[in-house]
Structure formats: structure tokens, C-alpha cells
Amino acid sequence: MFFKTKSHFENQVSQKVVETAEHLMVQIGTEIHDDVIQRLSLVRLHIDNINRHIDNPVQIQKTIIEMTADFENAINSIRALSHRLMPSQFEHESLDMQIQEICKLFEKSTRRIFHYTLSGSEQPLNKHIKLNLLRICQEIIQNSIRHSHAWNIWISFKWSGTAVEVEVEDDGTSVAKLNQTISELDIKNNSIRIRAKSIGAHVSYTIGRKGLITKVKYNSQNIPL
């Protein structure tokens, strides 16, 4: 894109920042409404059920067990959302350890199955790069769960010198729809792509054996991958 003046450049940057912030706010609102509030609503229904069967101890015990499980799921959902919103507090931990922690949180809150692998030796990354790679992975995972309804998610980190390739594959998108999905994603300037551009990373989408594959490539030496 050609910028006529410095003011034009600043306006375009400001617009992108506002668009990204708005997109993230909508995502957060959707997650709170579709996930957390629905889970808490189930707890309310359980309470109503207890009141209706106040003279039936067996039914009350059964309802309490179900309510406890649903309440625990709600807590896990809130914890996962909180973890996504807060900047990383574990600067001393590797990106590998943080991604594994994210997978555990998502497993608890969504009941999905995660398969994580790491190859090569992780290289030191500054806080800005590490945080953005972490957020990119979080959003890819969230998209796999929400939009493709995947039950299995495979995540791999492949290090080669200063370069890293992150690959996320899910089993939720039917092969018949993948070409259309990839075409839409290729022209979409979503927050994943915006974050990737901000650190000089590249995002691509391909068809895998199970479903959609999202790849993120980054090189701290700015060598084309």
C-alpha cells in the first residue's frame, strides 16, 4: 500500500488498531455469552430442579453431582478466558511450556483432545515476539474449536536454528468445505494475520490429512522461510 503523507500513514495505522481492538472485543463478548453464561445458566437450572424435588433426596443428590460438574466447567472456562486476556506472567518459562499450559486449560474447559509435539531446540525470544506467537496459537486453537467444531487438535513446534514453524491441524472441517474455507481465510485480514505481520511472521492455510492446517512461520533473523 502507498501512503501519500505521514498523516495518511498514521490514519491507516490507527484505523487498523481500532479494527483489531473491536474484533477482539467482539470475540471476548461472544465467548462470555456463548460459553461462560451458558454454563452458569445450567447451574441455575440445577438449582431450580433442586427446588422442584425438595422432597426427593435421590433426585437432589443426582442434581448436585451434575451441578458440581457444570460449575467446575464454568470455572475452567473463566480461567481459560482470563489466561488469554492477561499478558504472560511467566517470562522465565519457555514458549513450549506456555503452549502446553494453554493446551491443558483448553482441554479442561472444552473437553477436546490435544496432541502436542516439539522438535528442535527452542531459541530465546523477546517478550513481544513470544507473547504474539502465544496469542496467535490461542486464537488458532479457539477458531478450531468454535468454527470447525474439532474434537482433536494437533499442534507442533518445529525449530531450525533461529526459525520456528508452528502447525495447527484440526479434524473439524469437512474436506468438501476446506477449499472454500481456505479461500476465505487467505483474503481475511483477521487478528491472527495482523499479529503475524507485526512480528514479521507469515501465516498460511492448507488441507491436511484430518482437516484444516494453519501454519505460522517466524525467523528472528528475518531470513525468508
CATH number of 94-219: 3.30.565.10
AA identity, residue 7: S
Across 159-172, average pLDDT: 91
Whether pLDDT at 89 is above 70 = no
Q: What local confidence, expressed as pLDDT, does residue 223 receive?
A: 42
Instruction: Give the list of residues 6+ apart from residue 108 with CB closer than 8 angstroms, or none.
Output: 76, 79, 80
CA dist 58 → 25, 55, 134, 183 (Å): 44, 9, 46, 54
pLDDT at residue 225, as a whole number: 41
Contact (Cβ atoms closer than 8 angstroms) between residue 198 and residue 16: no
User: Residue 165 forms beta bridges with which residues?
Assistant: 158, 217
Average pLDDT value for residue range 74-84? 71
pLDDT band, very low/low/confident/very high, at 86 (cuts 50, 70, 90): low
* CB 145, CB 173: distance < 8 Å: no
Q: Where are the domains of the chain?
A: 1-86, 94-219
Cα torsion at 8, 13, 18, 19 (round to 10°)? 100
Residue 214: what pLDDT?
A: 94
Q: What's the mean pLDDT in 104-124?
A: 87
Question: What pLDDT score does 224 carry?
Answer: 41
Report pLDDT digits (tens) over 166-208. 999 998 866 668 888 888 887 776 788 888 888 889 999 998 8
> Residues 116-121: what's their mean pLDDT?
93
- Greater confidence, 153 or 107? 153
155 φ, ψ (degrees, to nearest 5): -125, 130
In the structure grid, which three cell numbers stand for residue 4, read together? 501519500
CA–CA distance from 136 to each of 56, 198, 213 (Å)? 50, 11, 14
Q: Across all residues in the chain, what is the average pLDDT?
A: 80
More confident residue, 101 or 33: 101
Share of the chain above pLDDT 90, in %: 17
Per-residue pLDDT tens digits for 205-222? 998 888 899 999 999 875
